[in-house]
């Protein structure tokens, strides 16, 4: 549009929005970006970053216990929750400032304001009560924890957002859900000394992962002392006179806890943004519909990240941002590639995974080879910790292509990142076999499992 104030206006200062704004500004484009809460978005402010810091915090009791086998005497340890919260706050404030500074340093303009689309080329900044014009508008407003209004007593529950900043560490917590967030937080709270119960509606936690990993993680978590109740759902929550909560489960059981956290998925932030007014099409789940290039049904309005509900992961939002820049500003239409995404669950032990699970592979391929090793990692020999590691490769018997790699154990997330490369490149099991091992490591198992543990032919295990 001739005379627009901005070449690009971005709504939402999270991982995707900030990346697009910064890179477009560095290309010399006139860029504005509005964020109503804090620059950095879910990942930096109340997601991946503080979560990982809390994972580290929660691992110390096991490190202290494991030290004895290596000759150390560790005096009795104590933990101070307010110190952890304050140190986490300091770190995320530092990162928040960097995110903002990076956009401004590249020449972009930042606004601390809620923004609404009032016309395909006009964004209203509510905090400043003024409108700005833009050639291109990018919506990157992310998502938020799904509420559960149908649950009687839901108003007593917290979500991951609040869990980071509780005034006091609860002595007992119940977490509803069996996905990434529920499992990660169950391990965090348990590690910090909280009596933790995970309540999951399905038959096994982490429904989207390989069954072997799910089972072994479940067993290991229970061995540590985390209670896991599958086939269970909360029917109602009631505040007791002593301030604690009673959660009545479908099994008839009542759990009494200090906090009840819901982690039942995340939904896109698309409400009260004027999207319907300008005719932007949305899915039934309230996500913005986009084409393969992240363009909405309106030519100059684009959307990336969790608000589009494609794959709710930070690196995916960043990748979509980079593709958007190629398409919208570099004359190089580039569709984000959502295939074979490596991912980690920061449970304890960790999960690192990429590609197809055994169950998925068997549905798509008639001859599947499974290479599987389960062993005690070396670090647990002297510590005496009774915890096993699992490594599994899923291979197409016909082409020898490695379809999936799944790890449960220390540093699994780090390994998944590296395994993402050969799987993305379509390498075969033969390529793995002729790769020299690094010894002594746990990862060497990945290149030394020469014989299939079993095959699955036409759905039958042989």
- Residues annotated as catalytic are 439
Closest residue to ligand NDP using C-beta atoms: 179
Helix (H, G, I), strand (E, B) or coil at 450: coil
Contact present, 168 and 159 (Cβ < 8 Å): no
φ/ψ (deg, to 5) at 193: 100, 10
Q: Do 317 and 309 form a contact (C-beta atoms < 8 A)?
A: no
Give least dist CB 381 to ligand NDP, A.
29
Interface with ligand NDP (CB under 6 A) = 176-182, 184, 200-202, 207, 233, 263-266, 312-313, 343-346
Distance CA 369, CA 400 (A): 9
**3-state secondary structure at position 201:** coil
Contact between 155 and 171 under an 8 Å Cβ cutoff? The reply is no
Shortest Å, Cβ 208 to ligand NDP: 7
To ligand NDP, the closest distance from the beta carbon of 238 in angstroms equals 18
In the bound complex, what is the minimum distance in angstroms from residue 354's beta carbon to ligand NDP?
12
CB 154 → ligand NDP: shortest distance, Å?
A: 11
Q: Angle, to 10 degrees, between the axis of helix 314-329 and the axis of helix 15-26?
A: 30
Helix, strand, or coil here: 79? coil
Q: Using an 8 Å Cβ cutoff, are 305 and 317 in contact?
A: yes
The answer to whether residues 77 and 64 touch, using CB atoms and an 8 Å cutoff, is yes
The kind and range of the H/E element at 49 are: helix 48-67
Instruction: Provide, rounded to whole angstroms, the least separation between the CB of residue 389 and ligand NDP.
Output: 19
Minimum Å gap between C-beta 52 and ligand NDP is 9
Toward ligand NDP, which CB reaches closer, 163 or 403? 163
| Closer residue to ligand NDP, CB minimum distance, 189 or 365 | 189
CB of 180 to ligand NDP, least distance (A): 4
**Residue closer to ligand NDP, measured from CB, 39 or 346:** 346
Element holding 234 (H helix, E strand): strand 234-239
Task: Give the residue with the Cβ less far from ligand NDP, 181 or 354.
Answer: 181
The residue among 30 and 154 lying less far from ligand NDP, judged by its C-beta, is 154
Nearer to ligand NDP, 19 or 266 (CB): 266
Kindly state the smallest distance separating residue 41's Cβ from ligand NDP, in Å: 13
Spatial distance between the Cα atoms of 321 and 407, rounded to a whole number of angstroms? 29
């Amino acid at each position: 549009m001739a005379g627009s104030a901005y070449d690009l206006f971005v709504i939402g200062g999270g991982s995707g929005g900030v990346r697009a704004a910064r890179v477009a500004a560095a290309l010399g484009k006139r860029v504005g970006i509005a964020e109503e809460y804090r620059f950095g978005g879910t990942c930096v402010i109340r997601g991946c970053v503080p979560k990982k810091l809390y994972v580290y915090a929660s691992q110390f009791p096991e490190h202290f216990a494991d030290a004895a086998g290596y000759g150390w005497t560790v005096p009795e340890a104590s933990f101070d929750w307010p110190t952890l919260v304050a140190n986490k706050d300091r770190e995320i404030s530092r990162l928040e400032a960097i995110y903002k500074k990076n956009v401004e340093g590249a020449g972009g303009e930042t606004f601390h304001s809620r923004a609404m689309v009032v016309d395909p080329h006009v964004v209203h900044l509510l905090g400043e009560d003024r409108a700005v014009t833009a050639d291109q508008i990018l919506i990157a407003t992310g998502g938020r924890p799904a509420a559960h209004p149908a649950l009687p007593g839901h108003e007593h529950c917290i979500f991951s957002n609040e869990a980071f900043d509780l005034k006091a560490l609860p002595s007992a917590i119940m977490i509803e859900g069996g996905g990434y967030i529920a499992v990660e937080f169950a391990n965090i709270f348990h590690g910090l000394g909280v009596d933790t119960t995970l309540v999951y509606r399905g038959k096994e936690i982490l429904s989207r992962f390989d069954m072997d990993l799910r089972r072994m993680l479940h067993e290991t978590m229970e061995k540590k002392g985390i209670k896991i109740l599958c086939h269970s759902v909360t029917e109602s929550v009631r505040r007791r006179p002593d301030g604690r909560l009673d959660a009545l489960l479908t099994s008839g059981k009542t759990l009494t806890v200090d906090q009840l956290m819901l982690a039942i998925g995340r939904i896109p932030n698309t409400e009260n943004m004027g999207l319907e007014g300008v005719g932007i099409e949305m899915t039934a789940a309230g996500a913005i519909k986009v084409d393969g290039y992240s363009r909405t049904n309106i030519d100059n309005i684009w959307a990336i990240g969790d608000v589009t509900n494609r794959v709710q992961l930070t690196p995916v939002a960043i990748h979509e941002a980079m593709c958007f820049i190629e398409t919208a500003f570099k004359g190089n239409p580039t569709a984000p590639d959502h295939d074979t995404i490596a991912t980690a669950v920061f449970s304890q032990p960790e999960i690192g995974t990429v590609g197809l699970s055994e169950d998925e592979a068997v549905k798509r391929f008639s001859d599947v080879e499974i290479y599987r090793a389960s062993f005690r990692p070396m670090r647990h020999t002297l510590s005496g910790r009774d915890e096993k590691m699992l490594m599994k490769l899923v291979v197409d018997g016909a082409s020898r292509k490695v379809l999936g790699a799944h790890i449960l154990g220390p540093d699994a997330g780090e390994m998944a990142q590296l395994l993402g490369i050969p799987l993305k490149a379509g390498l075969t099991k033969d390529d793995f076999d002729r790769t020299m091992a690094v010894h002594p490591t746990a990862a060497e198992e990945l290149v030394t499992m020469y014989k299939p543990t079993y095959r699955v032919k036409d759905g039958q295990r042989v």
